């Protein structure tokens, strides 16, 4: 990997690194650069703005869920043909997993891909102290290359002499400022930024304003020269899951019921679409890592998008359904009024179509959702239980989970790494079989052909999940064909019997 690259980080959350990172992406695109954006961590929303800024899907680099090999390979694969890679960090530069040891921070990613770090500091209420912060971050881990500082929320007309002198004293370049103005604030809500696709024109206008500020007051030439100095990086070919021997057992998953697949030699096509996968994607469901869908496609799944809000029913002739996360709670009334879609999904589950759901998808598969206003909305009822929305977070953070039983995505005792972030709670009916066991207790639901939980999983770190899901769809397709042939044989036998009676 020799493409020019840098990471935009900050001392803590809320300093403005997202705004600066997006502004830099948009500004370099204006200069004619082909830019690929990445986001450290599991966030789905910042990447929607990255796509708007660069014209290319933003992608996540999450060491906890993906592993170092997959992270590095993602950067190499997706930066091909690009002039510049810009990576937006997460939280503070050195903040990561709660144990303080597991590599998962922005600094860990920067070191892995050999990228210099631009530190964004909110200097609205400090001057020379900026130098002390920069020095501390520079010395905390000498292997992290602090290439310079951008001052955010800088008051127009303010004397910058003291800050410049302090940064010069500690040997960290001042790369520019972004003035304090309401024009560059991006709207947000309970799960983070409002998705760029939901406010496309307004979001594009906002990015243009930010890019204008960046072009006016940030030294883009100096930044690009710093990014060109990034050393050539090589893939380690060592995954964080390699030590987990149980991953090798995932191909021997348990299908519907308790029996193990008899047809283990099902060949998954690498080129031709051999099964059809319905993927819920609309304003209520849009949290999908691009790699998840790409991997499913590479394994032979034809992706067929549909809208639970607007379509009358699920797509015809599908062999599986994938419900990602999103905001079903914001569109609960619309979803509950689409009775034909609710019935269609419920009927699919009864036919044992493999269904995999994450977070928002889990909510939709429940029996009902009660909003913050106390309004009860009826959903599909595929999973026996009810959802309650809350004004405060109910679950957030990385999770290491173990599959409680064999199912469409793996065998019992398989360990999966993912993350949760939700303001709802799901009250499952007593005796409902859980999908996972975690440190927090039982989680999710798994029975027959349905798996649903709050856990978001990046398939790059767990490719066997995608493989097993496709295998489950193959098995459903086979059973569907066998059932059809059986019905045709019955009809044929009936005709033969009828003709025989006539001949007599």
Neighbouring C-beta atoms of residue 152, cutoff 10 Å: 21
Prediction pTM value: 0.87
Residue found by looking up tokens 């200097």 in the block = 123
Q: Regarding beta strands 320-323 and 275-280, do their DSSP bridges make them parallel or antiparallel, or are they unpaired?
A: parallel
Name the catalytic one among 34, 82, 309, 359: 359
Active site (annotated) includes residue 359 = yes
Q: Cα(133)–Cα(266) distance, rounded to whole angstroms?
A: 57
- Residue spans per domain, the chain: 4-228, 249-484
- Per-residue DSSP letters for 253-267? ---SSSPPPS-TTPP
Token pair recorded at residue 14: 């809320």
Name the phi and psi angles at 384, rounded to 5: -75, 100
Q: How many residues does the chain have?
A: 504
Q: Cα(330)–Cα(191) distance, rounded to whole angstroms?
A: 12
Q: Which of 362, 462, 359, 360 is nearest to 409 (CA)?
A: 462
* Structure confidence at residue 483 (pLDDT): 79
Name the phi and psi angles at 122, rounded to 5: -75, 105
* Structure confidence at residue 67 (pLDDT): 96
- Per-residue DSSP letters for 45-113? SHHHHHHHHHSS--EEE-HHHH-HHHHHHHHHHHTTT-SEEEEE--SSTT--STTS-SS-SHHHHHHHH
**Looking at the domain covering 249-484, what would its CATH class be?**
alpha beta
Q: Which CATH number fits domain 4-228: 3.40.50.300, 2.60.40.10, 3.30.530.20, 3.40.50.800?
A: 3.40.50.300
For residues 424-455, b (16+ Cβ closer than 10 Å) or e, as one string? Answer: bebebeeebebbbbbeeebbbbbbbbbbbbbb
* Structure confidence at residue 157 (pLDDT): 86
Q: Cα(429)–Cα(439) distance, rounded to whole angstroms?
A: 21
H-type helices in 309-433, by residue range? 332-337, 339-350, 360-365
Q: How many Cα atoms occupy the beta-carbon half-sphere of 199 within 13 Å?
A: 15
* Structure confidence at residue 235 (pLDDT): 45
Q: Which of 477, 405, 407 is nearest to 261 (CA)?
A: 407
Domains 4-228 and 249-484 in one fold: yes
- pLDDT 10s per residue in the chain (504 long)? 679 999 999 999 999 999 999 999 999 999 999 999 999 999 998 999 999 999 999 999 999 999 999 999 999 999 999 999 999 999 999 999 988 889 999 999 999 999 999 999 999 999 999 999 999 999 999 999 999 999 999 998 899 999 999 999 999 999 999 988 756 666 654 555 555 555 566 778 889 999 999 999 999 999 999 999 777 665 444 333 333 333 333 333 333 332 322 233 344 444 456 899 999 999 999 999 999 999 999 999 999 999 999 999 999 999 999 999 999 999 999 999 999 999 999 999 999 999 999 999 999 999 999 999 999 999 999 999 999 999 999 999 999 999 999 999 999 999 999 999 999 999 999 999 999 999 989 999 999 999 999 999 999 999 999 999 999 999 999 998 887 776 666 666 666 666 666 665
Name the phi and psi angles at 351, rounded to 5: -85, 0
Residue found by looking up tokens 């040891």 in the block = 101
Q: Cα(222)–Cα(172) distance, rounded to whole angstroms?
A: 13
């Amino acid at each position: 990997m020799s493409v020019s690259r840098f990471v935009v980080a900050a001392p803590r959350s809320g300093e403005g690194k997202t705004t600066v990172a997006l502004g830099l992406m948009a500004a370099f695109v204006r200069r004619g650069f082909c830019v690929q954006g990445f986001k450290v961590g599991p966030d789905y929303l910042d990447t929607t703005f990255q796509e708007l800024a660069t014209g290319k899907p933003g992608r996540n680099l999450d060491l906890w869920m993906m592993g170092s090999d997959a992270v590095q390979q993602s950067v190499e694969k997706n930066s091909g043909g690009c002039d510049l890679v810009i990576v937006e960090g997460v939280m503070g530069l050195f903040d990561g997993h709660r144990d303080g040891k597991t590599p998962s921070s922005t600094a860990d990613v920067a070191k892995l891909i050999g990228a210099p770090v631009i530190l964004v500091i909110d200097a609205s209420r400090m001057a020379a102290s900026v130098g002390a912060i920069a020095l501390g971050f520079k010395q905390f881990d000498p292997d992290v290359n602090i290439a310079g500082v951008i001052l955010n929320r800088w008051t127009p007309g303010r004397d910058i002499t003291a800050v410049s002198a302090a940064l010069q004293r500690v040997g960290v370049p001042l790369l520019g400022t972004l003035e304090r103005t309401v024009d560059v604030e991006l709207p947000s809500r309970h799960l983070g930024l409002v998705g760029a696709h939901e406010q496309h024109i307004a979001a594009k206008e906002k990015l243009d304003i930010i890019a204008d500020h960046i072009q006016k007051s940030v030294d883009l030439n100096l930044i690009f020269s710093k990014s060109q100095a990034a050393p050539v990086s090589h893939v380690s070919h060592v995954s964080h899951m390699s030590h987990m021997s149980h991953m090798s057992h995932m191909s021997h998953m348990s299908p519907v019921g308790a029996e193990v697949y008899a047809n283990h030699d099902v060949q998954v096509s690498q080129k031709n679409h051999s099964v059809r996968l319905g993927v819920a994607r609309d304003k209520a469901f849009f949290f999908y890592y691009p790699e998840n869908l790409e991997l499913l496609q590479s394994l032979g799944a034809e992706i067929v998008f549909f809208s639970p809000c607007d379509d009358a029913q699920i797509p015809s002739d599908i062999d599986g359904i994938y419900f990602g996360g999103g905001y079903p709670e914001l569109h609960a009334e619309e979803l509950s009024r689409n009775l034909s879609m609710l019935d269609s999904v419920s009927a699919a589950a009864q036919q044992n179509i493999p269904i995999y759901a994450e977070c928002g998808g889990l909510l939709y598969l429940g029996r009902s959702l009660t909003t913050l206003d106390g309004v009860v909305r009826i959903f599909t009822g595929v999973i026996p239980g009810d959802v309650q929305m809350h004004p405060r977070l109910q679950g957030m953070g990385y999770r290491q989970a173990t599959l409680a039983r064999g199912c469409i995505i793996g065998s019992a005792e398989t360990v999966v790494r993912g993350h949760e972030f939700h303001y709802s709670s799901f009250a499952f009916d007593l005796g409902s079989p859980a999908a996972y066991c975690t440190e927090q207790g039982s989680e999710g639901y798994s029975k027959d052909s349905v798996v649903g939980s709050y856990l978001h999983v990046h398939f790059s770190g767990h490719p066997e999940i995608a493989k097993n899901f496709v295998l489950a769809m193959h098995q459903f397709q086979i059973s569907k064909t066998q059932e059809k042939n059986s019905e045709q044989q019955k009809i044929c036998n009936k005709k033969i019997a009828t003709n025989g009676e006539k001949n007599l």
